[in-house]
Structures are given as C-alpha cells and as structure tokens.
Structure 1
Amino acid sequence: MRPWTDLATISGTFNFNDEEATQCAETLKNAMDGFGTNEEDIVRVLVEHNNDQRQEIAKTYESAYGAVLMEDLKSELSGDLEDVIVALMMPPREYDAYMIHEAICGAGTDENTLIGILCTRNNEQIEKIKEIYKEKYESDMTEDIKDDTSGYFQRLMRSLCLGGRQESDPDDDAVETDAENLVQAGVGSWGTDESEFNKVLCLRSYDHLKKVIKRYEEKRDGTSLDEDIDSEMSSDVQEAFHAIIKVTRDKEGYFAERLYKAMKGLGTDDKELIRCICSQAEDSLKWIMVRYQELYETDLFDAVKDECGGYYKSVLLSLLRGSFVSKDE
C-alpha cells in the first residue's frame, strides 16, 4: 500500500495554527474589499492549504468579519474560477453531495456525474455523502436518484447508494461461482440478466472482483468481461459497469481516463476536470498523473495548461504541482 503522502499533491502547511488562519482570512478579506478583486491572492491562499485548513480559515473569517467566506467568494468570482473555488472550499463528501444534487435536480440527469462519484467511493464515503445530502437538502439521496433515473440504471445506482460492498477476503469457490454466473447471465444465454451483473459488480469486494474478472476471462478463452458487457449492454448501464471494472483493476487509471476524455476533442468538460482534480488532490492525484503519462504519453500538467486559461488554469495547475502556479506560466 502506497502511503497517502506519496499520492496527494496538496498536504497543506506544516504546524498550521490560529495565527496563520487569521492572516489567511485577512488576506482573503483584503483581496475582495474595494474596487476589483485580487484573484491571485485568493488562489494562492486556498491552494497552499489543505481542505481541513480551509475550513479553519473559513471559521476564522466568519468570526472576524461576520460574513460567510464561501458566499463572499461566490459574489466576487464567476464562471469556471467560481466553480473550482467552490469545489476547494467544500469538504470532499459535501462536494460529492452537492454534485449529485446538481446532477439530478436540474433539467435532465447528468448520469456521467452519478457514475463518476458513486462508482468510485467506498462504503464509508457513500454513507457520509448520504448523511450530508439529507442535512443540506432535507431529502433522501437514494430516493431522489431513484426518482430521476429509470430501468436497470436506476437499480444499479440504488445498489451503489446502499453502500453495501463486501469487504471480506476473496473465496475461491465463490469466485468460481460468480464468474460462471456472469457467463451464464450474459453470453451464455438468450438475452442478458443484468440483475446478476448488478449483484456481483455492486456487492462483491474489490479484491474478490479482481479474481472474478480474471477467472471470467479464463472461462471465455481470453475475451474480457469488458468486451462482453459491450456486446450485451448499452448506454449508461454499460458505462457504469465499465467504471466499476476499471476502478477494480486500476482506480488511478480510471481517473486518468476521465481527465483525458474531458479534454479530448472540441471543447472542454470543465465540470469533470474540476471534480476529478479537486477530489483527488488530497488522495491520489500524484499517481493519477503518473498513470496519465503512461497511458497517453502526455504530461497532465501540460495538457491542462494547454486547455484552460486565467486564474482557473492557475488553480488547477497549482493543485497538480502542489504549490502555487501563476496564471501566466
């Protein structure tokens, strides 16, 4: 297991204390007072501190000035810069809850966001997301997702929302059974039994799933589970099952792929860039950058630099490097 300090890009300042929180709050206040906004000072303060430290700065700001830091920041900023600063200021699970709410409460449903969050969070994180969602929006997240989705995708999302993935060690007999059941539920029968795929992929532990995936391929003479899912399913159900398989095999590679797709082709999926980079800056962003380089022979820092601009670019590059990066770099 790699220690988290080897994976995170943002670790915050050492020996953070009340005096530093006061100085940061004052810097932020001065950056937003008077005519115009000093975006550079805002970015520098926020990217040089980790999320826990930002929460302390926000408390100090409110105590000192009688105003909510998040509200002041939102009133001063706009566009992608506002979005990425909002992401930085929210605790990680609160941001997940916020993004899920945004994905289902607007016009239509953003299935990509639901997949990107629910297929990559562990049981404890999902329970925390549901708790925060209930507190902030006075509604049950599982029921809201159920009401906004349909069919097998609805069932899949409901299963993930329950946060019931097993954490036990793999059992060889159970691995054999699951692999055979997946064959019979898909290519081995007329039609596809999505419920069997749902049961195995949403319930079994990741260590167990790794063995199931390998055994499945052996049974299919080298044809992968991914290939059979492509031939048996379509649309969002297919994408969600692919996400679970990719996270099982290579979680950092999965995030690298999402980042690549967010910047590939015409236009940029800034929401995806923000979500992936901000959510992983204190988790495994360093290793995601390594996997990005290995998979696409391109430096993620350079890719983001070419794709984004202004202080929005400054924030993302600072998170990737782990220290402040000017918008002019």
Structure 2
Amino acid sequence: MSYPGYPPSGYPTFPGYPPTGQESAYPPAGQYTYPAVPGGFPPMGGGAYPAAPPTGGFPGAAGYPPPGGYPPAPGGYPGAPQPGGMPAYPGGAGFGAPSNGSSFGYPQPPSQSYGGPVQIPAGYPGGQISTPIPPQPAAMTQSTQGTIRPAANFDAGRDAEILRKAMKGFGTDEQAIIDVVANRSSAQRQQIKTAFKTMYGKDLIKDLKSELSGNMEELILALFLPTTYYDAWSLRHAMKGAGTQESVLIEILCTRTNQEIREIVRCYNSEFGRDIEHDIRADTSGHFERLLVSMCQGNRDEVQTVDYQKAQADAQRLYQAGEGQLGTDESSFNMILATRSFPQLKATMDAYSQIANRDLLSSIDREFSGNVERGLKAILKCAQSRPAFFAERLYHAMKGAGTDDSALVRIVVTRSEIDLVQIKQMFTQMYQKTLGTMISSDTSGDYRRLLLAIVGQ
C-alpha cells in the first residue's frame, strides 16, 4: 500500500539516512537520528543498518520497502488526501474533532508520522521506531495557495477607466467595481490607483469612500491598501484610543513570518511616526506584553528541519516549567514558543504529549489565563496548521449573534493571496459547512457579493 506523493522521489524514507551522494556523512554529524545501539553506530557496510541505496533512489535497496510503497502505520492512514493535497477530516482517535471538548479545537492534519510506531523492514535494528518521520524539505512541502492571483493581460489604465465609469454620474455600479477588485492582485490594485490619479487627477480611494459606506467601504479600502500597510494600520487601530483589541495583536504578530513582521514594524514607524514596541508596552502588560514584544522582533528560527533531541529537551523543560511544579515559569514558555520554528514546535508538542500524558494546549489552559494564554495557543495552533487557525478565527467571527466584520474582512483580504484555498478546505473539514455558506448567511448585499467573489464562491 502506498500513499499519494509519499515518500517524495529521492527523499530518504527513514530518519537520518543520508541522501544519495552524502553517504560519507553517515551518520550525519551531530544528528543522532539512528536508534542508539551498544557500542555506537555500526560502520558503513557493516550490515547492521541497510546498505546505502543505489544511484537512482531508495526503492529496491536492501532493507527498504518494495516499490509498492512505504509500509502503513498500525491502524491505517487517518484520512485520505483531498484534491489539492489537504487531508480529509480524519475522525479518528488522536485528532480532536471540533466542538467536542477537545483542547485542540480543530483536527490536526497528519504531518510527520501516521499515528503510531512505524514498522521497519528486516535488517534495521530495533524492529520499530517511535521517532516521527522527518519532515520534507521546504521545496517538497505542501504549497499554499490563494484564491486571488494576478490577472492575465492586465491593463491598469483600462481598469481605472472602468472604475471611473462605475462611480460617475448618479448612482454607483457596484458590480463593475466588484468585477475589477476581486480579480486583481494587491500589486495590480496599486497600479490601478496610480493610473487613476494619472488619468483623472483624482485619488481613487477618496472617490471610492464617497461612493460606498459601511462594511462594503471597509472591504474595498482594505483591498486597495498595500498588504504591509494594512497590517500596520490594523495594529495601530487596535491600540489607538481607549481600550485595546488584543485579538488583533495576537492574530497579526503571532502568525506572520519574520520578513512580514520586520516590514510591518518599519511601516508602522514610517507611516504613523510611532514605535510599535513602545505602543505595545503602553497598551499591554505582564507576560502578554513580553510575548508581543518578543513577536515584534521578527527573530523566530525559520529553519524547516527538525531537531528531535531539542524537541524532547524543550518538551521536558516546558513540563518542568508548568505541570511538573507548583506555579509556572512563564519565561520558559515565552522563550521556547517565541524562538523555535513552527515545525520544531510541532515536534515539541508531540514529545510533550508523551511526557505529560496530555497535549501542550491543555497544559497552557491549566497554567495560563487571559490574553497571554490566547497568544501562546495561537502560536501552537499555527505550528499545527496555520490554515486551521485562520479557519477557526473566521468561524468565531461569524458564529452566534452578530458578526465581527472587521475580523472577517481582515482575514479574507490578508490571506486571499497566500492560503485562502487551504483555509476554505480546513473550514469545511472542521465545521461541516463551507466558508461561502457561512458568509452568505451572515452578510448581505454588495458586501456579501464581494466577499464571495474573493473567496471564490
């Protein structure tokens, strides 16, 4: 039995086995990924480990699986992949289903291991390993995908003319505006703004604001703001005036890449003449303040390979900092969750579950409260699945009475060119309804039509 796309062609099937052409690095220096055996690692060709694979790949090499594929984990693979590569909702043990009290809050797509010890072919010492299969290199991982892509045969001047006609005279042709803005990338929209001012000597944003109102206005303006500026503006708006919108600070600062955060920090300073760290310190306090200050440094490790020894050590340290003692050492949680890469944190969560007999999210529930709890959990949920985190945010923005339209607009716009396709898939798996269906029931008019056009419904 084999699984689609696994293992990737030319990628080592077992942990730590040197890739073709790197057999001299056996075992990899400083990486104890083979199971330890008395007397240390056997020499190359010694027979205790499988022979090095022949040129052309691993299938058929001694001690490796036959061409039929990698042997299944006990209990089977939890959920077959869906079109586009996203796993189906597993529904099996260990994958907490939504709204059933699971501390995860959403299903965890299978990632590095398949639910149990992997049976190893004869010739590999130990018979089985419990270490997860190493993640694929970045080039081999599931790529994300936005619902909006750059339009072909793009003509900024033509689009500017369409928008001018849609707003000229009595009334506004909202459908013409929707047809343009929902089918152009953010970079193309910036070119349309420039062309509009060049052709008509008028500011497109001001003209749109004079023609639109309410949620439709907010959505259109969000689409025409440069992405980095929109994030910086959202953070400033969240801290400006009385009160603070902590959920916005968490959503942006705990989910963006290092490069995105650094650009946001620079934009915040240049556009608003303010230091974001100073504003965070003025508007928050305690361990939540420290977590956000750590986040706005943009210094998270982004290496995609996983060090399983470090994951085990970090899991042990987190256990001793929380469940394993009276009181909580918050600085240990801050240090590990603010600096480790997301794949590394995922491995740490797996190791923690084995040490503590409960998942790390549950322990954070027990050890923390308030905004710092929500911030730490946001980081861990992104480590598990960033699309699932945003799917959950969208669901709660529309769940129950009333709609958090600002959150709905912000997430749909900011993820529309990154991973909104995967967010939609996760939304359906988690809540048994499509994102488009929920948007349709919670919004109306031109606002609804534009949102649905962006999400591709």
Is TM (by shorter chain) over 0.5? yes
Could you say which residue in structure 2 is the equivalent of 1:11? 149
Secondary structure at the counterpart of residue 298 of structure 1: coil
Distance in 1 (CA, whole Å) between partners of 2:281 and 2:174 is 40
Amino acid at match of 1:120: T
Pairing of 1:1-329 with structure 2 (within 5 A)? 1-4=141-144, 7-16=145-154, 20-168=155-303, 169-221=305-357, 223-321=358-456
Deviation at residue 199 of structure 1 after TM alignment: 0.4
Q: Distance in 2 between matches of 1:135 and 1:208?
A: 34
The alpha-carbon deviation at position 185 of structure 1 amounts to 0.8
Amino acid at match of 1:158: V
Q: Which runs of 5+ in 2 are unaligned?
A: 1-140
Give me the whole-angstrom Cα distance separating, in 1, the residues matched to 2:259 and 2:230.
Answer: 15
Match of 1:325 in 2: none
Map Cα deviations across residues 88-136 of structure 1 (whole Å, 9 max, x no partner).
0012111100100100013200000011111110100000111111111
Structure 1 gaps, min length 5: 323-329
- Aligned residues with identical type, % of pairs: 40
C-alpha distance in 1 between matches for 2:148 and 2:182 = 8
Partner residue of 1:327? none
- Choose 153-162 or 167-176, whichever is displaced more: 167-176
How far the C-alpha of 1:32 sits from its partner, in A, is 1.7
Alpha-carbon separation, structure 1, partners of 2:319 and 2:209 = 51
Deviation at 1:14, TM superposition (A): 0.9
Q: CA deviation at 1:33?
A: 2.0
Counterpart of 1:326 in structure 2 is none
Q: Structure 2 CA distance, aligned partners of 1:62 and 1:263?
A: 37
Q: Distance in 2 between matches of 1:125 and 1:61?
A: 28
Tell me the TM-score normalized by structure 2. 0.68
TM-superposed deviation, 1:171: 2.4
Give the residue type in structure 1 aligned to 2:391: A
- Indicate the residue corresponding to 2:83 in structure 1: none
Give me the whole-angstrom Cα distance separating, in 1, the residues matched to 2:306 and 2:425: 29
For normalisation by structure 1, the TM-score amounts to 0.93
Moved over 4 A (4+): none
Aligned-partner residue type, residue 34 of structure 1? G
Alignment deviations for residues 285-313 of structure 1 (CA, whole Å, 9 cap, x no partner): 11111111101100111110111001111
**Matches of 2:210 and 2:281 in 1, distance apart?**
34
Aligned counterparts of 1:48 and 1:205: Cα–Cα separation in 2: 34
Code of the aligned partner of 2:372: V
Q: CA separation in 1, counterparts of 2:309 and 2:175? A: 58
| The structure with more radius of gyration | 2
Per-residue CA distance 1:191-233 (angstroms, 9 max, x = gap) = 1111110100011111211111111110012x01011111111
Structure with more contact order per residue of length (Cα contacts < 8 Å, sep ≥ 6): 1
| SS of residue in 2 equivalent to 1:252 | helix
Structure 1 CA distance, aligned partners of 2:294 and 2:446? Answer: 39
How many Å separate the matches in 1 of 2:192 and 2:351?
A: 51
Mapped partners of 1:142, 1:229: distance in 2: 25
Q: Distance in 2 between matches of 1:251 and 1:217?
A: 20
In the aligned structure 1, how far is the partner of 2:449 from the partner of 2:273? 35
Distance 2:205 2:270 in 1: 18
Give the number of aligned pairs: 316
- CA distance in 2: counterparts of 1:3 and 1:264, whole angstroms: 29
Task: Provide the C-alpha distance between the structure 2 equivalents of 1:106 and 1:294, rounded to a whole number of angstroms.
Answer: 39
What is the Cα deviation at residue 70 of structure 1?
1.4
Q: CA deviation at 1:34?
A: 2.1
Q: Deviations over 1:60-107 (max 9, x none)?
A: 001111122112212221110111111100121111001001000132
Query: Aligned partners of 1:171, 1:3: CA distance in 2, in Å?
Result: 22
Q: Cα 1:105–1:88, aligned 2, differ >3 Å: closer, same or farther?
A: same
Q: Deviations over 1:119-156 (max 9, x none)?
A: 11010000011111111101111211121111111001
Structure 2 distance, partners of 1:172, 1:22, is: 54
**C-alpha separation between the residues in 2 aligned to 1:106 and 1:33?**
36
Q: Which amino acid aligns with 1:13?
A: A
